[in-house]
Chain A
């Protein structure tokens, strides 16, 4: 398995609030899984816990990336192991140029994996090529990370990072939020271009429309900290047509 989550229970560190109440999820290499669910069901928490954000406490269960214990690693080690989270709200970092950021990240991961760092020239060539297909211009590469970027630009910048870092397991946390149809298409094209046999995706979304563009193999419905139903792409259509109420009632 690429990603294997078993009985994952997570609470907030600061308060006694259980968010994930036993999540089981297996993602095979090369497959695209989608998680849908109402607000507050724990979708974003799952993505943060997997990538190692502070503030959560795992009380039970496990999460393995290609057999390695993710929960035991620092966030940077998870990234080097091949995990990538496209943020719902990409962070602005004034004073750090986007290019510097990308190069630092790429080379840090290469170093962690024992590979040679890319030279400035090599890096520039690759980044220009990938930026072009995402319609990211030279100016966006020069500007500080995400500062003054529109919602669409921020999300395209996430996909650019994903393209540069070439992770094995990509988690997209509500990448469609705040995007108009054209921007969503562009992002989806970027993601689809990265689909390959060895790379898996976990697409978290409220709406079915992103899944029109990024076609999932498996769709999960999450509610109240658990995955309550799993099916094929038709499950997403069911949500689109009938909302979550029917499914929630069905499993209640």
Chain B
């Protein structure tokens, strides 16, 4: 079927004048293939089923809307954590600000360097999981990223990587329009923790492809920065093998538009995939969208989706979460919860939980709620002398706790909790 005119026009306008970056043969082929897929699918419009609650226009328009740079003198997140820092300024790798890209049991390279080499393991991962994840739901913005991205990192964990790798995304130019693409390959039995912090750009498109081999473990903790006017569309594509672990947590502050998609495919038996997120938004121009798709295609898989949103002053939150259990994926244990705390009558939460199950011996549950602060609990705290603002914060943090609990590392979770507390005390 021919694409609708709006879609065709949007796609043509975005791709006009686009010149694909040069690279090694395989890289050039991967980019050309991605571009062809974008042309075939067309870029999203709000008439698309998966964009009904989030208008993608500002993500697809050729010229990115500007976003003021948010200046603050806070200590960088995870500052006390012994980590490998890799800094990008408006999407460009900053060697001077970064640590040496070396660590025990891990190879880290700049994406641009990997894509310039004729023979590189990245060939078998770059755009590969993204392509696999285009069915049954198309994700054309991710394909566009694969076509355009020049920077990012490629990480290959070959054993237990003791120090977390922290990708720090700084935003300096109010006009920056950035595509970052990162690859993580976790070899059999290897373990790695990836931290991502910062707003990155006025408009960011980011793809993360994570391939976790049998027995591997991938831990991911991300904090999306506070710049009020920034926009971001991010995709995390992961394929996980037998006895492996995938855990991803995202904390989002502010931003006019954030769309975080996470697509996980469990292909090996006894694997565990947890994806969680918390967001706090204040004001009518805050829009945050979590779109998650977990596919069980193996025995004894366990998946959890835990998403919590705190919304105030007309903020909007969206959750679209799906669990697909393929035929034969018996003994699957799937859980999904999405909840919002609406701090006033103007804020809204739109949730679309979906289960699609083709195996007959599984346990899958899902729930979604919207609520206000519990007045009885608030009075209880106040009657014990806790001032009303502090009591509200305490109850709000307790609402978010279930999501934060998904972070395996207590110190990282505590750091994020402190930031949340700070945000809540500034937004009363």
Contacts and interface: CB of A to CB of B under 8 A. Distances in A.
Contacts of A90: 380
Given A91-B376, A93-B377, A108-B387, A74 B398 contact: no
A112 B382 CA distance: 13
A93 B397 CA distance: 11
B383 A79 contact: yes
Give chain B's interface secondary structure class.
helix
Interface residues of A, number: 31
Interface string B364-402: 000000000011110111111111101100110111011
A93 B398 contact: yes
Nearest to B379: A53
Interface string A82-95: 00110100111111
Contact of B382 (A76, A94, A100, A161): A76
Contacts of A96: 394-395, 397-398
B383 A104 contact: no
Contacts of B384: 79, 101, 105, 108-109, 161, 165
B401 to A, nearest CB: 4
A95 B385 contact: no
Contact of A108 (B375, B376, B386): B386
B399 A105 contact: no
Given A76-B388, A109-B385, A104 B379 contact: no
B386 A105 contact: yes
Nearest to B391: A76
A77 B229 CA distance: 39
Contact of A75 (B379, B395, B402): B379
Contact of A95 (B376, B379, B398): B398
A182 interface: no
Which of under 10, 10 to 19, 20 to 34, or 35 or more describes the interface residues of B? Answer: 20 to 34
Given A93-B395, A93-B398, A94-B398, A87 B385 contact: no
A165 to B, nearest CB: 7
Contact of B380 (A87, A94, A165): A87
B401 A85 contact: no
A165 B384 CA distance: 8
A180 interface: no
A84 to B, nearest CB: 8
Contacts of B381: 93, 101, 104-105
A45 interface: no
B387 A91 contact: no
A65 interface: no
Contacts of B391: 76
Contact of B386 (A52, A54, A76, A144): A76
B394 A104 contact: yes
A3 B333 CA distance: 58
Contact of A80 (B374, B377, B385, B394): B385
Contact of A51 (B376, B383, B395, B399): B383
B388 A74 contact: yes
A128 B388 CA distance: 27
Contacts of A84: 383
A112 B390 CA distance: 13
Nearest to B387: A76
Most chain A CB within 10 A, of B377, B384, B388, B397, is at: B384
A54 to B, nearest CB: 7
A104 B380 contact: no
Nearest to A89: B376
Contacts of B379: 52-54, 75, 91
A95 B380 contact: no
A91 B380 contact: yes
A54 B375 contact: yes
Given A76-B387, A108-B390, A95 B382 contact: no
Contacts of A85: 383
Nearest to B376: A91
Interface string B397-423: 111011000000000000000000000
A168 to B, nearest CB: 13
Given A91-B376, A108-B387, A79 B382 contact: yes
A100 B397 CA distance: 12
Nearest to B401: A95
A94 B386 CA distance: 17
B375 to A, nearest CB: 7
Interface string A50-86: 0111100000000000000000001110111000110
Interface of B: 374-377, 379-388, 390-391, 394-395, 397-399, 401-402
28 contacts: A53-B379, A53-B383, A74-B382, A75-B379, A75-B383, A76-B383, A76-B386, A76-B387, A76-B391, A79-B383, A87-B380, A87-B383, A90-B380, A93-B380, A93-B395, A93-B398, A95-B399, A96-B395, A96-B398, A100-B394, A101-B394, A104-B386, A104-B394, A105-B385, A108-B386, A108-B390, A109-B385, A165-B384
A-B interface, 6 closest residue pairs, ranked by CB to CB distance from nearest? A95-B398, A79-B385, A109-B385, A105-B384, A75-B382, A91-B380
Given A52-B383, A87-B383, A144-B398, 7 more contacts: A74-B382, A74-B388, A76-B382, A79-B382, A91-B374, A96-B395, A104-B390
